[in-house]
Amino acid sequence: MSMINNPVQELVPLLFVENIDNSISFYRDQLGFEIRMKWEPEDKIQWCRLERGSAALMLQSACPDEDGVREERIKGVGFYFLCFDALVMFEEFSKKGLNLEPPRAAFYGMNQLFLKDPDGYELCFQSQV
């Protein structure tokens, strides 16, 4: 399919976070994402794009007056990362200090590892059973 017939190339969610330094540390140091772009007014990161494989997300420092409170922002939001083996992800993340429950098989054939980021956004790394 040509680019003209399929102009959408990717979806990159933007997560408003309370403490961007803590969130960057979590995604980079514990989940293995890399910073690919960042915006640093006054030498302080306010926004960044992180990537791991073909997955990407953006983090931005939240402004409660504009972005709402954390409990409102995270309600009903979950991110599902398709990976080759959820058990391998569990082992990798556990070695980096995360205290997680092992992945579980869902009735629809996915082995799922659930965790939450520092703001409470739900993340699921899943692979086929």
What tens digit of pLDDT does each residue of 18-62 get?
999 999 999 999 999 999 999 999 999 999 999 999 999 999 999
What tens digit of pLDDT does each residue of 1-14 get?
555 777 888 999 99
pLDDT at res. 8? 86
What tens digit of pLDDT does each residue of 67-97 get?
888 888 888 899 999 999 999 999 999 999 9
C-beta of residue 41 within 8 angstroms of C-beta of residue 31: no
**Of the candidates 47, 52, 117, 118, the residue with the CA atom closest to the CA atom of residue 84:** 52
pLDDT at res. 90? 98
**Of the candidates 65, 64, 57, the residue with the CA atom closest to the CA atom of residue 14:** 57
Helices (H), the chain: 20-25, 64-67, 70-74, 86-95
Q: How do the domains of the chain map onto residue ranges? A: 14-128
pLDDT at res. 3? 59
CATH fold, domain 14-128, is: 2,3-Dihydroxybiphenyl 1,2-Dioxygenase; domain 1 (3.10.180)
